[in-house]
Amino acid sequence: MKEKRVLVTGGAGFVGSHLCEQLIKLGNHVVCVDDLSTGSRANIHHLIGLPNFEMIVHDITNPLYIDINEIYNLACPASPKHYQTDPIKTIKTNVIGSINMLGLAKRTGARILQASTSEIYGDPQIHPQRESYWGNVNPVGIRSCYDEGKRCAETLFFDYQRQHQIDIKVARIFNTYGPHMCHEDGRVIPNFITQALKNEPITIYGDGLQTRSFCYVDDLISALIKFMGLSAGIAAPMNLGNPIELTVLELAHTIIRLTNSSSTIKFCSLPVDDPTQRRPDISLAQAHLNWQPKVQLELGLKRTIEYFSSNSDKQTRVTG
Q: Measured from the CB of residue 235, what is the shortest distance to ligand UDP in angstroms? A: 25
* 191, interface contact from ligand NAD, ligand UDP, none, CB < 5-8 Å by kind: ligand UDP
Q: Is 23 exposed, middle or buried (0-12, 13-18, 19+ CB in 10 A)?
A: buried
**β-strands 29-34, 111-117 pairing:** unpaired
- One-character DSSP codes across 269-310: PPPTT--S---B--HHHHHHH-----S-HHHHHHHHHHHHHH
* 61, interface contact from ligand NAD, ligand UDP, none, CB < 5-8 Å by kind: ligand NAD
Residues 101-120 that bind ligand NAD (CB under 6 A): 115, 117
User: Is the peptide bond preceding residue 237 cis, with omega within 30 degrees of 0?
Assistant: yes
Q: Which is nearer to ligand UDP, 4 or 253 (CB)?
A: 253
- Map residues 156-175 to x or -, x wherever contact with ligand NAD holds by CB under 6 A: -----------------x-x
* 149, interface contact from ligand UDP, ligand NAD, none, CB < 5-8 Å by kind: none
Question: Where along the sequence are the contacts to ligand UDP (CB under 6 A)?
Answer: 79-80, 175, 187-188, 191, 203-205, 210, 212, 248, 271, 274
Q: Measured from the CB of residue 241, what is the shortest distance to ligand UDP in angstroms? A: 11
Which residue, 243, 104, 94, is CA-closest to 170? 94
Tell me the three state secondary structure of residue 255: helix
Which residue, 171, 176, 147, is CA-closest to 242? 176
What lies within 8 Å, CB to CB, of 294 at 6+ separation is 219
* 212, interface contact from ligand NAD, ligand UDP, none, CB < 5-8 Å by kind: ligand UDP
Q: What is the C-alpha to C-alpha distance for residues 55 and 20, in angstroms, rounded to an integer?
A: 10
Contact between residue 197 and residue 241 where contact means Cβ atoms under 8 Å apart: no
* 146 is annotated as an active-site residue: yes
Instruction: State yes or no: residue 149 binds ligand NAD (CB under 6 A).
Output: no
Instruction: State yes or no: residue 70 binds ligand NAD (CB under 6 A).
Output: no
Q: Applying CB under 6 A, which of residues 59, 218, 219, 281 lies at the interface with ligand NAD?
A: 59
The region of 30-38, 160-168, 188-196, 250-258 touching ligand NAD under the rule CB under 6 A is 30-38
State phi, psi for 109 to the nearest 5 degrees: 80, 15
Give the number of C-alpha atoms closer than 13 A to the C-alpha of residue 248, restricted to the C-beta side. 26
Catalytic annotation, pick one of 83, 146, 160, 177: 146
Q: Is 191 exposed, middle or buried (0-12, 13-18, 19+ CB in 10 A)?
A: buried
Instruction: State yes or no: residue 16 binds ligand NAD (CB under 6 A).
Output: yes
The region of 8-16, 48-56, 231-239, 288-296 touching ligand NAD under the rule CB under 6 A is 8-16
Contact between residue 109 and residue 100 where contact means Cβ atoms under 8 Å apart: no
Q: Measured from the CB of residue 20, what is the shortest distance to ligand NAD in angstroms? A: 11
Q: Measured from the CB of residue 87, what is the shortest distance to ligand NAD in angstroms? A: 13
Going from the C-alpha of 247 to that of each of 66, 157, 181, 200, the distances in angstroms are 44, 33, 21, 20
Q: Measured from the CB of residue 271, what is the shortest distance to ligand UDP in angstroms? A: 6
Cite the active site residues: 146
Q: Applying CB under 6 A, which residues contact ligand NAD?
A: 9-10, 12-16, 34-39, 59-61, 74-78, 82, 93, 97, 115, 117, 173, 175-176
